[in-house]
Amino acid sequence: MINDIPETRIDLKAINAWRLTSLIIGLSFFVPVGVYIAITVNTEVFEPLLITLAVILSLVFYLFVGLAIPKLRWKRWRYEVSEDAIDLLRGFIFKTRTVVPINRVQHVDTNQGPIYRKYGLSSVKISTAATTHEIPALDDETAADVRNKISQLVRQVKEDV
Amino acid sequence: MSEFRRQHWSAAIDRLFNSIRQNFVTFLILIFVGSRQAGGDYFLYVLLGTIILTFISGIGGWYRFQYRVFEGELQIKKGIFVRKNVYMSKDRIQVIDVTEGLVQRIFGLVKVEVKTAGGGTESATISAITFNEAEELKRELRNKGTSSNQTDEIHEDVELLNKEDEFIDEWKISTKELVLAAFTSGNFGLIASILTAVSGQLDAVINDESIEYLKDTLPGLNNVTLIITVIVVILVVSWTLSFLGVIFSYSDFSVKKTEKELLIRSGLIERKHTTIPFDRIQAIRFVEGILRQPLGCGMLYVESAGFEHNAKERSIVLVPFISKAKKYDFFNRFLSDFHVPELDIVPPKRSFFRYLRRPNYLLLFAIPAAWYMWDMGWLLTFLLVPATILGWLRFNDAGLYFDTNMIVVQFRNLNRKTAFIRRKRIQVIEEHTNPFQARKDITSLSVTAASGAKGIEFRVNDFEKSDISSIRKWLLSGEKDTDLLSE
């Protein structure tokens, strides 16, 4: 249980939710090119070749961040809630494993933004006296279950800060 | 104390002084600018008016401010226009500070600050009451406060409390230690940079004319000696300031121990008394500054959770200067929950070159950039040597230790730091692994304890993966996994 890496994956719908988020936010990658075009369009510095190149580069980057990364992120996200601890493992290049002993948890809540709502997803936020941690993109029901399970476990072992 | 009380009226003066002190720089600039302009008198009236208004609002604030301890709560009513009621349950109180500032000392009073922890942390300050009132307040707030399952009989409690109040032990620092602490304080670098920034703004005083005048009056002054003189003056001034700063803050320093608490007292002009219950200690930190380590000395801090105004207030200085040898004695006498062990877990040999490389990564980008921009940029290459030495020191200093109840994490950024945390006070641990570390089967560990309103993180790099796993298991089970270590 503690010995092995955590097993539970987050919801598959996370990939699409994250893709949508990244594709919206990623539109900002085109701002530099846009500004450059706007400034130079009627002057002699205007270079169509350079601009085409920049647009292609931005597009490749945009698609990579928007389509490929969410999948990799999902693939690497694991969590586990046991009687002793909340165990989180994440990151596809830099791996981070976080272990929060259950009796250190001060409160748990679930959050849902507009995109998560569209996909029926929620994230669970776990706060200790020092830090906050998040399990992203769980099915609404699972998120509620996880939240209830954690707060139940905390009540069982409650100690003062 | 169940009736609402007011503070001494000097609270209004204290408030006035505080707002002047907080806006000291603004005041200076305003006076400076105002007096040079035509109609400067006019301006001074405005300034005077502001001060009088602040004083009047201070009196209003004093009149509205009332406090009492009622049914285990500290209750405060305050606010002139926006009325505010603060209720603090004594079970939540972490630290009680009693300060005798300049104003308070004139009137023979003290200031009490009560800090709590938890969501929406808050602090309450009662800025002018007598010492006896403060003691009474403290007693009432601590009474049964730390453990609510104690006996309900009040008489027994009082007896118990009197016994608890007795000082079991006391620690002082000698004049020699105080002077050494002042000599080796690293603050002067910070003050020097502030001074440099400020002097750049003093165009009115430092201009071509005055420099020419100086050159004429002082023999042997040319551009080079002028620059050197300025640097030396800034260094000397800032160093003196930092020296005096340490002397003022830590004169008359003592730590007293009662059955349940540590009482820290320090300060020459503004005297501060801090009370920390043992069961509110989150972590102990030993910091050996680069100037202090050669002397085998450092500074001890205690971390506690609670409200903080700024980062400086987050950690409480437990002992401002202590030698390594005396540290063992101090831990034995004052911190019986902790001890100073040998660090038996160290990074493996194969991490050595990673440690050497780590401080150099930044230079890898900085050197080409600097070289490109300035002719003399290549000089930065010489920084590779101290950076590598730093990496070497970091490798030697990194270490871990854990037993049933406690973990010790030692690492170096610039200063060497050793953190002592009880297992039950560890809020979270994190293992960080990048692809290169994964290939070598090593990993970095960070241990977080609560401190102030946030946490304080202690991180060591490139340790054996199995060692870090055994720490993770120990955190949850409390047992040292001997099988795994002997493997």
Mean pLDDT, residues B103-124 taken together: 75
Helix (H, G, I), strand (E, B) or coil at B258: coil
Flag if A84 and B477 touch (Cβ within 8 Å): yes
Task: Look up the pTM and report it.
Answer: 0.80
pLDDT in tens, A115-153: 999 999 999 999 988 889 999 999 999 999 999 999 989
Quick one: tokens of A148? Answer: 């209830």
Does B477 lie at the interface with A, CB-CB under 8 angstroms? yes
pLDDT at B21 over 70: yes
Separation of CA B254 from chain center: 17
Tell me what pLDDT residue B151 has.
Answer: 39
pLDDT in tens, B270-284: 888 888 888 888 999
C-alpha B67/C-alpha B50 separation (Å) is: 28
Tell me what pLDDT residue A161 has.
Answer: 46
Quick one: tokens of B417? Answer: 């730091």
pLDDT in tens, B367-405: 888 888 887 777 888 888 999 999 999 999 999 999 988
Q: B435 vs chain A: nearest CA distance in angstroms? A: 6
Place of tokens 């946030």: B454
C-alpha B414/C-alpha B150 separation (Å) is: 46
In B106-165, the residues whose Cβ lies within 8 Å of chain A are 117-119
pLDDT at A98 over 90: yes
Flag if B454 and A128 touch (Cβ within 8 Å): no
Does residue B60 or residue B202 have the better pLDDT? B60
Asked if this assembly's ipTM is beyond 0.90, the reply is: no
pLDDT at B480 over 50: yes
Tell me what pLDDT residue A18 has.
Answer: 94
Mean pLDDT, residues B238-250 taken together: 88
pLDDT in tens, B192-233: 777 777 666 665 566 677 777 777 776 666 677 777 887 888
Tell me what pLDDT residue B54 has.
Answer: 84
Residue B162 half-sphere exposure, CB side, CA atoms within 13 Å?
5
For the CA atoms of A61, A64, A65, A71, what is the dihedral angle to 10 degrees?
Answer: -170
C-alpha A157/C-alpha A151 separation (Å) is: 10
pLDDT at B438 over 80: yes
Tell me what pLDDT residue A39 has.
Answer: 84
Does B450 lie at the interface with A, CB-CB under 8 angstroms? yes
Cβ-based contacts of A97 with chain B (< 8 Å): 430-431, 433
Quick one: pLDDT band at residue B310, thresholds 50, 70, 90? Answer: low
Flag if A93 and B435 touch (Cβ within 8 Å): yes
pLDDT at B487 over 60: no
Tell me what pLDDT residue A1 has.
Answer: 43
Tell me what pLDDT residue B486 has.
Answer: 40
